[in-house]
């Protein structure tokens, strides 16, 4: 079978890209082939799963539970109203678990069905379904990756689902996404170092050097095919590394808009200094770093590979070509060495992406990203635009 050709070397503006209408059948059959005789289910999260899941009570509050309502409308009903039978699948059940409150925190074992019956994820769900879709508020990629290796299922995590994601990042052809992501993975694999220059609004340039040790680049490309247990993160389209070292400085925009300058040494964020905003926010971060230093360990460096519209949710926006992200915390699901048990308390064992993109960090510019691989040096990104090296790699 001939792989589809890429659009990326021709169309780099998402406003000019035409996306097909979302099709659950196409998405499942592309991502998970083969599907025949597979049992499938949907997981979602609530702070009070027993009550919100019983008789689908959450459907009465779409403003409070937009992700869960979309999971029901487009995935649960989509499966039940023909897609499941067309793909020769069974199951189609929906279960709710307790929201973890943090990105990639391990999940409690209890879950609930629509009749209010309490079940066990380990006993009743993981062993009894071949494909598990987790459509939730909080990312569950790390814990489900560990569970799929234990129980043998395949799955996908789609946290933060919204209309834009449904009509763009989940409507694309994942054979094409996989092909393009592999092209960029080959362009970056074996890198010794990545250097990122950030220009902040006072004109200062901050540089962080991430040491990669010539490692094989990895990819999140959306395909979870065959019988090998695996969990895809959708929307997909990312090349990533697990840093072995890091040094320098980089800026970070906190949730309240405060911007701090982070000092990094020996792969760890050492401290944060206020650039603008609230000193209390900086003090809280520094106290957390002092109390549990593992929260500042850099666990991932990722680059987006797709041409997509901004969705307002990092799960899609970090996959946009020209953006990059640095993550702190656990990276065991990426093949790294930072495990949940290494943190002082369970609540700290998150994997948190720090995304750099024009809409996310308007007062922080990525002036340049450089790859060093032996004697080779290439410019990857300038001002959130892919460099010629990446564009040529996609051709």
> What per-residue confidence (pLDDT) applies to 10?
55
Tell which residue, 222, 101, 98, 252, has the closest CA to residue 158.
Answer: 222
Q: What is the gyration radius of the CA atoms in the chain, in angstroms?
A: 21
- Global confidence as pTM: 0.93
Provide the token pair at 119.
């079940």
> What per-residue confidence (pLDDT) applies to 3?
40
> What per-residue confidence (pLDDT) applies to 13?
87
* CA–CA dist 140, 134 (Å, integer): 7
Provide the token pair at 142.
């790390």
Q: State whether the Cα torsion 13-220-315-155 is positive or negative.
A: positive
How big is the chain, counted in residues?
395
* CA–CA dist 178, 173 (Å, integer): 9
User: Would you kindly state where each structural domain of the chain is located, as residue ranges?
Assistant: 20-167, 175-394
> What per-residue confidence (pLDDT) applies to 227?
87
Which residue has 């999940």 as its token pair? Answer: 107
Question: Within 10 A of 36 (CB to CB), how many other CB atoms are there?
Answer: 8
Could you tell me what percentage of the chain is helix, strand and coil, using 3-state DSSP and rounding each to the nearest 5? 30, 30, 40
Averages of pLDDT over runs of 10 residues in the chain (395 residues) are 42 86 98 97 98 98 98 98 97 98 96 97 98 97 96 98 98 97 98 98 97 97 95 97 97 96 97 98 98 96 97 96 96 91 93 94 96 98 97 94
* CA–CA dist 383, 97 (Å, integer): 41
> What per-residue confidence (pLDDT) applies to 15?
84
Where residue 35 falls (left for φ over 0; alpha for ψ -120 to 50; beta otherwise) is alpha
> What per-residue confidence (pLDDT) applies to 4?
39
> What per-residue confidence (pLDDT) applies to 12?
81
């Amino acid at each position: 079978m001939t792989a589809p050709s890429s659009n990326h070397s021709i169309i780099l503006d998402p406003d000019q890209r035409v996306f097909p209408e979302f099709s659950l059948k196409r998405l499942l059959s592309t991502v998970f082939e083969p599907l025949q005789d597979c049992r499938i289910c949907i997981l979602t999260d609530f702070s009070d799963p027993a009550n919100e899941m019983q008789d689908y009570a959450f459907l009465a509050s779409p403003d409070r539970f937009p992700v869960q309502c979309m999971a029901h409308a487009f995935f649960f009903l989509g499966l039940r109203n023909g897609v499941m039978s067309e793909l020769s699948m069974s199951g189609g059940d929906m279960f709710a678990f307790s929201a973890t409150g943090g990105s990639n925190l391990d999940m409690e074992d209890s879950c609930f069905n629509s009749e209010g019956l309490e079940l066990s994820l380990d006993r009743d769900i993981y062993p009894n379904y071949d494909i598990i879709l987790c459509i939730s508020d909080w990312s569950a990629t790390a814990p489900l990756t560990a569970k799929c290796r234990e129980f043998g299922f395949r799955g996908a995590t789609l946290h933060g689902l919204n209309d834009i994601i449904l009509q763009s990042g989940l409507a694309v052809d994942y054979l094409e996404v996989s092909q393009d992501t592999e092209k960029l993975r080959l362009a970056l694999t074996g890198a010794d170092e990545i250097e990122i220059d950030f220009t902040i609004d006072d004109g200062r340039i901050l540089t962080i050097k991430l040491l990669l040790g010539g490692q094989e680049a990895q990819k999140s490309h959306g395909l979870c095919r065959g019988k090998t247990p695996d969990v895809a993160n959708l929307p997909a389209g990312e090349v990533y590394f697990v840093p072995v070292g890091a040094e320098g400085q980089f800026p970070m925009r906190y949730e309240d808009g405060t911007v701090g300058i982070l000092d990094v040494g020996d792969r760890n964020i050492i401290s944060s200094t206020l650039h603008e905003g609230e000193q209390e926010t900086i003090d809280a971060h520094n106290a957390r770093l002092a109390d549990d230093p593992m929260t500042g360990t850099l666990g991932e460096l990722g680059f987006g590979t797709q041409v997509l519209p901004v969705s307002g949710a990092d799960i899609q926006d970090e996959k946009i070509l020209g953006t990059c992200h640095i993550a702190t915390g656990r990276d065991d699901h990426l093949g790294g060495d930072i495990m949940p048990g290494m943190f002082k308390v369970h609540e700290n064992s998150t994997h948190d992406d720090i995304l750099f993109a024009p809409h996310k960090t308007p007062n922080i510019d990525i002036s340049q990203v450089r790859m060093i691989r032996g004697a080779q040096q290439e410019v990857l990104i300038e001002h959130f635009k892919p460099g010629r090296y990446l564009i040529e790699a996609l051709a």
